[in-house]
Amino acid sequence: MARVQLEHVTKRYDDVTAVDDMNLDIDHGEFVTLVGPSGCGKSTTMETISGLTVPTEGTVRIGERDVTNLPPKDRGISMVFQNIALFPHMDVYENISFGLRLRNYEKEEIDKRVDEAAEVVELEGMLDRMPDEMSGGQRQRVAIARAIVRDPDVFLMDEPLANLDAKLRVHMRTQLQRLHRELDTTIIYVTHNQAEAMTMSDRIAVLDTGQLQQIAPPLVCYNEPANLFVATFIGSPSMNTIEGEITNDGFASTYGQVAVEFDPTAFGLTPGQSVTLGVRPEDVYVTTLVDDLAHPTAPVPTRSDVLEPMGDEIFVYLVTEDIAEGGSMEEGSDPGEILMSVDPDSDVQEDQEMDVILDRSKLHLFDEDGEAITHGLVEAPAAASGPAGTEVEGDD
């Protein structure tokens, strides 16, 4: 059993808090991915688990054992590094067997285990090569073999696929998933690549500024983000956010004419409260192209600005009217801009006036601090059957 627990783990450097009161509880055999933007503390979290860094405060447990002050070698872990980190002066066999040789295993046992590990990662017949004679993907497989050969309790992977080309990355992704199924070990995986996080993990831990924002299965993070950060971070392209406030009969946006009618009191809201409405691009529809939406909002007059045909869908940048005249062209998220995705065969043109509607059952509402208020802005009767109200808070 190798359950990994972080209890109130904090890591402070001189004037930076890299990890701030982190609580994680990862079950045996679970595949958990740490995601977040650069500098969010995901690598530092990984280092405190591996023992390469000692946390300033807090406790790290692996398999119910307090390992906070143990060196990496005594923690029963193995790790795959972003820069692969094969020992350049050793051949593949020596690299893979390095940890076993340090632990004084018998020669036959080492040979047996190295052969097995090489077989898992399909490296048979390459054991006498030097790392600099191998391709990036082969080196990565050697690194994985080196990690699995010791049969560790916990596998740590720090962006192991980041240095591979796109095609190889997808291939290795499926291989890693297969490996996880075969090995039945706990895997903690760090990445900033959303596709890796969404496809491989049992649960995703979203980190920002050293704090855990949400830890939940990938689709829960996607459908019911705990806060505005998770909402905009998970999903590509990211969720539209529309600032506005609660009125007596629903939501009205500050810019543009996005309005949703509902009874504020049903969601515990008070009129005058500033909120942010979130809607994913795929939940925005052109009024004329859809007619079977169960819970549509009132039509929002917009004008299409830029089209991005992706092949399987088209991304349409919509500008709400009053902004188009005001000409707000700030960097990043324009306050009046809405991104919509439509079918590739839809008849949309650039610079075309169109009314759009939003799927109310897929709307998200966040309060001033960015915490989620509700997912799905559907009136009470329908809300009972929908996912609305099942908040997932960022606690342990």
Contact residues for another protein (CB under 8 A)?
50-52, 71-73, 77-79, 81-89, 98-99, 102-103, 132, 146, 150, 156
Pick 80 or 198: Cβ nearer another protein: 80
The CB-of-55 to another protein minimum distance in angstroms stands at: 17
Residue whose C-alpha is closest to residue 266's, from 99, 357, 384, 158:
384
Amino acid identity of 166? Answer: A
Could you tell me the maximum CA-CA distance found in the chain, to the nearest angstrom? 77
The CB-of-57 to another protein minimum distance in angstroms stands at: 21
The CB-of-215 to another protein minimum distance in angstroms stands at: 24
The CB-of-31 to another protein minimum distance in angstroms stands at: 19
Which residue has tokens 């632990």? 103
- For β-strands 154-158 and 186-190, DSSP reports them as parallel
Residues 371, 227 contacting (CB under 8 angstroms): yes
3-state secondary structure string, 220-272? HHHHCCCEHHHHHHCCCCCCEEEEEEEECCEEEECCCCCEEECCHHHHCCCCC
Q: How far apart are CA 148 and CA 79, in angstroms?
A: 9
Task: Tell me which H or E stretch contains 347.
Answer: none
The CB-of-43 to another protein minimum distance in angstroms stands at: 11
> Which sign does the torsion angle of CA 65, 151, 217, 239 carry?
positive
The CB-of-166 to another protein minimum distance in angstroms stands at: 22
Pick 150 or 180: Cβ nearer another protein: 150
Pick 46 or 200: Cβ nearer another protein: 46
Pick 79 or 279: Cβ nearer another protein: 79
Pick 49 or 339: Cβ nearer another protein: 49
Residues 303, 321 contacting (CB under 8 angstroms): yes
Q: Print burial letters for 280-308: b (CB count within 10 Å at least 16), e (below 16).
A: bbebbbbeeeeeeeebbbebbbbbbbeee
Pick 97 or 227: Cβ nearer another protein: 97
Residue whose C-alpha is closest to residue 338's, from 356, 322, 319, 361:
319
Instruction: Verify cis geometry, omega within 30 degrees of 0, for the bond prior to 237.
Output: yes
Q: How far is CA 180 from the centre of its chain?
A: 19
Pick 43 or 241: Cβ nearer another protein: 43
The CB-of-321 to another protein minimum distance in angstroms stands at: 53
The CB-of-9 to another protein minimum distance in angstroms stands at: 19
Pick 37 or 71: Cβ nearer another protein: 71
Residues 197, 118 contacting (CB under 8 angstroms): no
The CB-of-192 to another protein minimum distance in angstroms stands at: 18
Pick 79 or 392: Cβ nearer another protein: 79
